[in-house]
Amino acid sequence: MTVDNYAVAASGWAGGAELVYRPVARELLALAPHSLAGRTVLDIGAGTGAASTALAELGAQTLAVDLSHPMLSWHAADRPPAAVGDVTRLPVQTNTVDDAVAAFVFNHLRDPAAGIAEAMRVVRPAGALLASAYSNDSRSEVRDALDDAARSHGWTPPDWYAELKQHATPLLGTANRMRRVAAGCGLIDVAVGERPVEVGVTTAQQLVDYRLGQAQFAPWLRRLGPDEAVEARNRLIESIAPIMTPYRPIVVFLAALVPPAR
């Protein structure tokens, strides 16, 4: 059975983590090899809709898939049509969407090629696949200090998160690795970049809200309860404020085409 590690993360993700994920989604879509306006684009691993929102801004018709029903249900009435499903077994027929976006989801897989191949199955010939993953070089002293401060207040990284960081995320964490996996799957016109992104997270409050909004913190915050969670947030802000610098995650971007005839 597949476990939903994002089951209690939706409100924190939408209200905090998206401070980073929304601007990165816009940068990813800007790499599309053709205009996405009017096209049907599948948002794979859509979460609470960071990329779906950016797609709507560009005039695309979006469909969303995610393993996590609670993530997809967040403000569902204002969101595109959605279905729960695994990125390696998409609940979508072959050759039925014009393009696909996979923002920070292939990096959850021990076999990222399986996710890319499945995305290629559902995208029509000559459609685009856009994907993002964190670079293995994406480090931040202030973010590490924040995690240390959270540990000293009782947070421990969940096992799934430690495993993800150790075994899955690094597989697409360099431009070369992303390029090799994408080309190995048969994508063409493969363009890969690895660069810091100006996400506009410049204050300690924003960094804490982004970080605590991520799924690895959600069960801990829930256990603390609302009052203690607010207190923990304030203490984390205080502890990193003196060393705060703008947060610029380094992201590996992929933009490629599914071959025209298969």
Ligand X SMILES: C[S@@+](CC[C@H](N)C(=O)[O-])C[C@H]1O[C@@H](n2cnc3c(N)ncnc32)[C@H](O)[C@@H]1O
Residues that bind ligand X (CB under 6 A): 6, 21, 25, 45-47, 50-51, 66-68, 71, 86-87, 103-105, 108
Q: How far apart are CB 241 and ligand X at their closest, in Å?
A: 26
Token digits for 238?
């205080």
Mapped onto helix, strand or coil, the DSSP state of residue 101 is: strand
Q: How far apart are CB 231 and ligand X at their closest, in Å?
A: 27
Q: How far apart are CB 126 and ligand X at their closest, in Å?
A: 24
10, 14, 83, 144, 223 from 227: Cα distances, Å: 19, 20, 34, 24, 11
Q: How far apart are CB 42 and ligand X at their closest, in Å?
A: 11
Give the residue with the Cβ less far from ligand X, 157 or 235. 157
Tell the residue number behind the tokens 């940068």, with chain if given.
27
Give the residue with the Cβ less far from ligand X, 114 or 175. 114
Separation CA 74–CA 209 (nearest Å): 18
Residue closest to ligand X, measured at CB: 47
Give the chain's end-to-end CA distance (angstroms, integer): 33
Q: How far apart are CB 135 and ligand X at their closest, in Å?
A: 15
Of 75, 2, 26, whose CA–CA distance to 253 is shortest? 26
Give the residue with the Cβ less far from ligand X, 63 or 244. 63
Give the residue with the Cβ less far from ligand X, 84 or 190. 84
Of 154, 40, 44, whose CA–CA distance to 99 is shortest? 40
Give the residue with the Cβ less far from ligand X, 108 or 143. 108
